[in-house]
């Protein structure tokens, strides 16, 4: 299985400041034939199911605010919240779908400083 | 907008069978791939398995011997059965839909779009 490792495990950011979450895969999730990275990002608030934010590493899901952006390629990816809002307090997960056995990162908890 | 509602027994004894159902409302049932995903307390999300629009299934190798995923297209429902449960199967279980994607004439599930509300299943003697 592809192992997804996120860093940091948690971070505290002031309102309006940038939050950056990293995700590293144990093998490349870039499919060379279509140049797509098979990676998604999710947001999970307490007591709720996860919600997809980003897929193909950088494509925002419809309705997701543009302060959320995804970048990276191959094995190293980043989710950036450009200006943290109070409603962004949550746990964020990356997930690969390069293999049929989908795997998730361990999660990064984002809090307000 | 697709909405998922799930239900099933919340407390099981070791060796019993976990059984959950997920009903899909407000969208094209046959247009999605469907998966079950679980989240043990304090641990990461774990994908359990998927059923595609043709009814074919793929399972996580770690659970394959104990899992069955099925659909009832007449009711727009999908189901999960997990046999011979142990305490390690204690988790919140989610159903989720995958919009899917196609490449080179083949189509696959991928990321998870609509999710059910989750159901806590506890295995304890």
Mean of the per-residue pLDDT values of chain B: 95
For residue A100, pLDDT over 90 is answered with: yes
Question: pLDDT digits over A46-85, tens only?
Answer: 999 999 999 999 999 999 999 999 999 999 999 999 999 9
How far apart are the CA of B108 and the nearest CA of chain A, in angstroms? Answer: 8
At A12-50, the pLDDT tens digits run 999 999 999 999 999 999 999 899 999 999 999 999 999
pLDDT at A48: 95
Share of chain B above pLDDT 90, in %: 83
Which of A1, A47, A100 to mutate to test binding with chain B, by most B CBs within 10 Å of its CB? A100
Give the position of tokens 């590493």: A57
CA dist., res. A99 & res. B16, Å (int): 31
> For chain B, what percent of residues have pLDDT higher than 70?
100
A40 near A111, Cβ under 8 Å? no
Q: How far apart are CA B33 and CA A106, in angstroms?
A: 24
Task: Look at residue B27 and tell me whether its pLDDT is greater than 90.
Answer: no
Quote the distance between the C-alpha of residue B87 and its chain's center. Answer: 19
Question: Which residues of chain B lie closer than 8 angstroms to A104, CB-CB?
Answer: 44-47
Place of tokens 């495990």: A9
Is 90 exceeded by the pLDDT of residue B7? yes
For residue B67, list its beta bridge partners: B82
A10 has a pLDDT exceeding 90: yes
Residue A74 · residue A83 · CB < 8 Å = no
- Chain A contact present for B110, CB below 8 A: yes
Chain B partners within 8 Å of A38 (Cβ): 110
pLDDT at site A12: 98
A21 vs B: CB within 8 A: no
Give me the residue from A34, A51, A100 closest to B103, CB to CB: A34
Q: Do B104 and A33 touch (CB under 8 A)?
A: yes
pLDDT score for B105: 86
């Amino acid at each position: 299985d592809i192992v997804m490792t996120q860093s940091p495990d948690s971070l505290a950011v002031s309102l309006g400041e940038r939050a950056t979450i990293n995700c590293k895969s144990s093998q490349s999730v870039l499919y060379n034939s279509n140049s797509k990275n098979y990676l998604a990002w999710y947001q999970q608030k307490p007591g709720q199911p996860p919600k997809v934010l980003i897929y193909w590493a950088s494509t925002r899901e419809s309705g997701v605010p543009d302060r959320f952006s995804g970048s990276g390629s191959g094995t190293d990816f980043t989710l950036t919240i450009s200006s943290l809002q109070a409603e962004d307090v949550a746990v964020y997960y990356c997930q690969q779908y390069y293999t049929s056995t989908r795997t998730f990162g361990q999660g990064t908890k984002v809090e307000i400083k | 907008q697709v909405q998922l509602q799930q239900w099933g027994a919340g407390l099981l004894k070791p060796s019993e069978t976990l059984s959950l159902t997920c009903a899909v409302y407000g969208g094209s049932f046959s247009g999605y791939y469907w998966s079950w995903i679980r989240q043990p307390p304090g641990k990461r999300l774990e994908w359990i398995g998927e059923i595609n629009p043709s009814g074919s299934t793929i399972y996580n190798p770690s659970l394959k011997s104990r899992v069955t995923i099925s659909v009832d297209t007449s009711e727009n429902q999908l189901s999960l059965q997990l046999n011979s449960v142990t305490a390690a199967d204690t988790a919140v279980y989610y159903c989720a839909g995958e919009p899917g994607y196609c490449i080179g004439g083949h189509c696959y599930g991928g990321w998870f779009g609509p999710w059910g509300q989750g159901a806590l299943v506890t295995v304890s003697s």
